[in-house]
Amino acid sequence: MGFFRCRRLRYPENFQQALQRLLPDLSQRPEIEVDILSHLVLACGDVSLVNFIRLSPDLIKVARETLSTGGTIITDVPQILNTLDHTRLAHLNCESFSLINDPHLDSAADAEQEFWHNQNWQQRLAENIEGNIWVIGYAPSVLLKLCELVETQHCQPALIIGLPIGFSHAPAAKRRLMQLPIPYLTSESALGGGLLAAVVLNRLVASLLEKPNCHCYLQSV
């Protein structure tokens, strides 16, 4: 019987060096956008994700303006809320809460069913749209409802990070989001998830605190 022999590791993996070799050419993208894309790849381990992420030209600008003035962040489920960088958010005087306030949810399917069948959550969504940052990574129906109210009630959230999981409602919701006059980040596919949605918000927060005078993003606005 043969045995596989692993080469002895003599040093830790250099993730940034590996990313430089694997990522496509992003030299024409703003520095903050490249940072977000790089961390998304590190979070999911799939370099191809870069090809599917879509963000509006004004996303980074609006995010920095909203966060610097103590904006409110709303997630669709508690799991995403728990993954946000609350230390940095507190430094910016930003509040955050979960739309579906049920700590027992443990899957995207549960979140979808809970929002679909509970009118309380839909009413809560309608009452908290204006001026807030929305981070959606579980329930596609939350994103669909949010888009619907923006269209029909002319509500104006600050921006929407829309990365819910799903194979029918989610892609449809993301396509609808990209048609709205709202700053957004989403994926042009079924790819998404709560961790990725949280990563985007956390990197926007980190870039504001680490590079408050960076204006690289203005070239694409």
Identify whether 85 is part of a domain: yes
Inside any domain, residue 113: yes
Q: Is residue 17 in some structural domain?
A: no
Q: Which two tokens stand for residue 196?
A: 């990725």
- The residue range of the domain holding 196 is 31-213
In sequence order, which ranges of the chain are alpha helices (DSSP H)? 15-22, 31-44, 59-68, 78-83, 86-91, 108-117, 119-127, 140-153, 169-178, 194-210
Domain CATH code at residue 178: 3.40.50.10230
Domain count across the chain: 1
Query: Would you say residue 187 lies in a domain?
Result: yes
The answer to whether residue 51 sits within a structural domain is yes
- Per residue of the chain (221 residues), what is the pLDDT tens digit? 455 555 666 756 555 656 666 676 777 888 999 999 989 988 888 888 889 999 999 999 999 999 999 999 999 999 999 999 999 999 999 999 999 998 888 788 899 899 988 899 999 999 999 999 999 999 999 999 999 999 999 999 999 999 998 888 899 999 999 999 999 999 998 889 999 999 999 999 999 999 999 888 876 65
Asked whether residue 18 is assigned to any structural domain, the reply reads no
Does residue 84 sit within a domain? yes
Q: Judging by beta carbons within 10 Å of its beta carbon (0-12, 13-18, 19+), is residue 187 exposed, middle or buried?
A: buried
Which residues neighbour 11 within 8 Å (Cβ) at sequence distance 6 or greater?
none
pTM metric for this prediction: 0.89
Which residues, 6 or more positions from 112, have their beta carbon under 8 angstroms from its beta carbon? 138, 139, 140, 141, 166, 169
